[in-house]
Amino acid sequence: MALSSPRSSASIPSSPADPQFKHDVFLSFRGEDTRKGITSQLYEELQHRRGIKTFKDDKELEVGVAISPSLLMAIEESRFAIVILSPNYASSPWCLDELTRICQCMEGKDTILPLFYHVDPSDVRHQKNSFEVAFTKHEENFRQPKDKVKQWRVALQKVANVSGWDLKNYGSDGELVKDIVEFVCSKVQSIEFESTLYTAGFEPFESTIQAMEEVTKALKNDDITTIGVEGMGGVGKTSMVKYVAAQALKNGHFNHVILAVISQSPDLLRIQGIFADLLHLRLHEETLIGRAVKLRARMMRANKILIILDDMWDEIDLSSIGVPNYSELQRCHSKVMLTTRRRNVCHVMRMQAQITLDILSEEDSWTLFVKNAASSFQKSNAASSFQESTIFYDIARKVARECAGLPIALIAVSKALGDKDIEEWKEAAQRLERSQTANLDDKGDVFKCIKFSYDYLRSNDAKSCFLLCCLFPEDEDIQITDLMKYGLGKGLFTDANTLEEARGIAHSVVKYLKASCLLLDSTEDGCVRMHDVIRDTAMSIALSEDGHGFLVKAGCKLKNWPRGMHEGYSAISLMGNKIRKLPENLVCSKLQILLLQTNYDIQEIPESFFQSPSSLMVLDFSKTSISLLPQSLSLLTNLQALYLDSCKKIIDISILGNLKKLEILSMRKFPLMELPEEIGNLANLRMLDVTGGCVDTIPSEVLSKLYRLEELYMQCDFGHWWSEVEGPEENNICFVQLTSLEYLIILKVNISSADFLPKDIELYPNWVNFNIGICRKSLAIQYHWVNLFLDDDSRTLTLDTTITTLPDWFIKVVTAKTEKLQYVECRGLCNILVEHEHGKLDCLKYLTLFGPHRRLKKLMNTTTLVLPNKSVFKNLEVLDIQVDYLKELCVGELPTGSLLNLKVLKVEKCYSMVNAVVSSNLLKRLQNLETLNCGFMIQLAYDFKETFIAHE
């Protein structure tokens, strides 16, 4: 079979955003044949020049050495595998084991990419010539089991039947490498863009289909290089363009699609960064011009690239970003497409094809309206009325017409009214008909409908959170935790008794706003987004309501404080700018929220800055260069939330002790070694966050004075807070203070030794969520306790000691509730069943063991102890073992019901288990196992799989 570039064979995996993939490409090769030649060329081009994460093992193997655990893991964590089949490939058992594993992991996914390098594909398929010689030696030497040799043959047959690259079809290695690299880049990018370009729920109507057909026609026309799509805000331009681009990428019209939102205040450096990321390009240049030159060169090398510039408001010199000129784009079969609300933008940008996306027709509007209201109708009596009542039907049609054919308005209004009765529909129709707006352009209808949806929100918390979202820069991912914290500071979520309850309410409110189509999902976990049209409306609403005027100039590249009087504003957001100097006197008596974070050039707060805004409740100076806080900060007697995250130059915060009403104090990456004694004056403080800071000293009694504290985040080490000469008894006094805080429910701390825990306490704390490390700080960092620390909803414990060394009160309060437990280099651990029994680990879901636990030879051993007749680890779902000296997983019989819910078993770096076989007494317990990862020996995985099938 003649083989060429596999452009039609490799498809996009079904889960493009699957977090299991750490590498884009795994290179399988015979070192002595290709290491210094084509393999090195491929690795250099993919990894270093194109930014494709590529795994290449550089170790030379000795005869008889088994395949390494890291190599097996790399195969499992790679999207694609390029198998370089060279003359001596089959002579290496290592390569054949590797290939077998590749076939197992990637079977049915079309992600194996063979390269026939100085070999004929038929020789590989039928094991002829050099491959026949290699297999004859394998069989004659009797070093390999017959079953394994058979697996090798099957793997070679499989890979030879896949369309790949054949060197004889190319003039040189360089041409071959170039073709492979372009293909791999396009496939990797297709995976990354599949989720980015996909628009959930996109439904084309008559006007949309017409525009789509015009765009598709222009994309296929080689004479057209530039395409402009214009239409009213909220008409669906972005959704339509994304959908068409995804189809064009899928159908092979383009190898690459890159999209960046331009917005009203374009940040060219950010846009360059987005394009570079999407093209797997690293920009080290600091200047706009230098980055543009590098981007242009990369775009010129990329054949068939579609560049989408979304939401353009004014003319931009594309060469300043790095986009090649139109004639250059045509030479490399590439195109530029933009979307805009302003028709003149298409003209000044010299778009060769100008396509208008019109509003929906009345019938299409009605169809969309009914579809989005249907789910709510079905939950009320309105369902039958809507279908049967002529009066109801007429009113609903009237409401739909008021939305002026704009999808964003139709969806929002239909969601707001879906479950209302006939009287409310009548009132809604009258309100929308009477609604007048000062807007004379196309925003009028949108404002009217979005304002109507806002008015129908059922709670003040929802309305206030909606308005808070417009304080963030346009098209920014908004963290729900920020909404919660700002909302609390402003006095929202009054029904919540605790911060944890407020957090739950905030998530519920966001879910409600998304269901009302006033907020959008984000690609980032824990975040939401706001459509720019809805954001504009939110700012208009804020300005139109008494006491809610907002001044929002976020992410606008301001260098100076905005001019004019700010007396009437209740919120000012100037985050994400380049402001250097603050005004001498902020005259703004109604101001409740002031957001100045990410203005890195602010070095000083004038002493007179805080003279009148005593009503200020939320203040954010994070990511600024301030070193001192002014004495006038004491005037902020109503301040409830203060953020000084990443203020790395700050040298004194003692003035904070005067802020008696402060409830939230966030100082992540706090640069000072000692927490000021004045912090103890904050008797109303409910949250203290110094995650990532350098705090090593806390003055005596500071923590005990914070009697209302609910959440404490301190990524530091209790064992270093006092002099080493004082001893454990004196050093554990501070931890006793923590246990005495009756409102504390979330605790994230590290303790360097179990000796620093008090032996007994008077009252047991109620820590609902915790992440407690009892281990040397170096181990905690080495084994990623820092990452687990950021999991707000976990009950996590990290130990370098055994549970038997922990006091009884700690076992009742912590270990008995622990869901995630990880041991790191625990010298005393010898039988995990002892830990289970002593620690009451019935709630455990994740168990991890890292490092050289020198005494742990048998993970579970029932022969050395008498177990009660009850199941062990009955709720455990994930067991991850990386223990150097471990020889066996289980010795003896486990009680019935043990490990019944185990879904994932990982056994890695257990080098002493090389000759072990998983015992059936453990295997028969794992009836719900879904994932098995035996990274220490491939044969163990095979034996396990065969035994498991037998037990089924």
Per-residue model confidence as pLDDT tens digits over 717-727: 555 444 333 44
Buried/exposed code over 481-493 (b: 16+ C-beta within 10 A; e: otherwise)? ebbbbbbbbbebb
Show the tokens assigned to 443: 């925003």
Show the tokens assigned to 495: 């029904």
Whether the pLDDT of residue 776 is over 70: the answer is: yes
Which pLDDT band, with edges at 50, 70 and 90, does 288 fall under? confident
Whether the pLDDT of residue 91 is over 80: the answer is: yes
Q: Report CA 552 to chain centroid distance, whole Å.
A: 27
Least confident of 275-279, 482-486, 832-836: 275-279
- SS3 of 848, please? strand
Look at residues 137, 121, 158 and name the one whose alpha carbon lies nearest to residue 1.
121
Average pLDDT estimate for 34-39: 84
Q: What is the pLDDT of residue 1?
A: 32
- The rounded percent of the chain whose pLDDT value lies above 90 is 19
Give yes or no for a contact between 621 and 656, defined as CB atoms under 8 angstroms apart: no
Give yes or no for a contact between 648 and 623, defined as CB atoms under 8 angstroms apart: no
pLDDT digits (tens, 9 = 90+) for 435-475: 654 443 455 667 777 888 888 888 899 999 999 999 999 88
Q: What is the pLDDT of residue 239?
A: 86
| DSSP labels, 723-754 | -GGGHHHHHTHHHHHHHT-TT--EEEEEES-G
* 125-139, 444-458, 514-528: which is most confident: 125-139
Alpha helix positions (H), 405-474: 407-417, 422-434, 443-455, 460-469
Which pLDDT band, with edges at 50, 70 and 90, does 148 fall under? confident
- 878/360: higher pLDDT: 878
| DSSP labels, 755-815 | GGS-S--SS----SEEEEEES-HHHHHHTTHHHHHT-TT-EEEEESS-GGGS-HHHHHHTG
Whether the pLDDT of residue 642 is over 90: the answer is: yes
Least confident of 130-144, 287-301, 463-477, 815-829: 130-144
Whether the pLDDT of residue 323 is over 80: the answer is: yes
Q: What is the pLDDT of residue 391?
A: 67
Q: What is the pLDDT of residue 618?
A: 94
pLDDT digits (tens, 9 = 90+) for 387-437: 455 666 777 777 777 777 778 887 778 777 766 777 777 777 777 766 654
Look at residues 505, 510, 508 and name the one whose alpha carbon lies nearest to residue 520.
510
| DSSP labels, 871-909 | -SSTT--EEEEE-TT--EEEESPPPTTTTTT--EEEE-S
Q: What is the pLDDT of residue 595?
A: 95
Whether the pLDDT of residue 621 is over 90: the answer is: yes
For 206, other C-beta atoms within 10 Å of its C-beta total 12
Whether the pLDDT of residue 640 is over 90: the answer is: yes
Look at residues 306, 296, 322, 214 and name the one whose alpha carbon lies nearest to residue 252.
306
- 659/263: higher pLDDT: 659
- SS3 of 22, please? coil
* Beta bridge partner(s), residue 904: 878, 931
H or E element that contains 203? none
Q: What is the pLDDT of residue 142?
A: 63
Q: What is the pLDDT of residue 268?
A: 86
Phi, psi of 298 (to 5 degrees): -65, -40
Which pLDDT band, with edges at 50, 70 and 90, does 731 fall under? very low
Q: Report CA 409 to chain centroid distance, whole Å.
A: 30
Phi, psi of 709 (to 5 degrees): -65, 130
Q: What is the mean pLDDT of the chain?
A: 80
Average pLDDT estimate for 239-254: 84
Q: What is the pLDDT of residue 197?
A: 55
pLDDT digits (tens, 9 = 90+) for 644-685: 999 999 998 999 999 999 999 999 888 887 788 899 999 999
Q: What is the pLDDT of residue 681?
A: 93
Average pLDDT estimate for 147-159: 87
Buried/exposed code over 77-109 (b: 16+ C-beta within 10 A; e: otherwise)? bbbbbbbbbbbbbbbbbbbbbbbbbbbbbbeee
Give yes or no for a contact between 356 and 347, defined as CB atoms under 8 angstroms apart: no
- 382/248: higher pLDDT: 248
Average pLDDT estimate for 348-353: 89
What totals of helices (H) and strands (E) does the chain contain, helices first? 33, 31
* Beta bridge partner(s), residue 906: 880, 933
Least confident of 69-78, 182-191, 819-828, 896-905: 182-191
- 850/382: higher pLDDT: 850
Q: What is the pLDDT of residue 604?
A: 94
Residues 6+ apart with CB under 8 A from 83: 28, 29, 99, 102, 112, 113, 114, 115, 159
Whether the pLDDT of residue 939 is over 70: the answer is: no
Which pLDDT band, with edges at 50, 70 and 90, does 203 fall under? confident
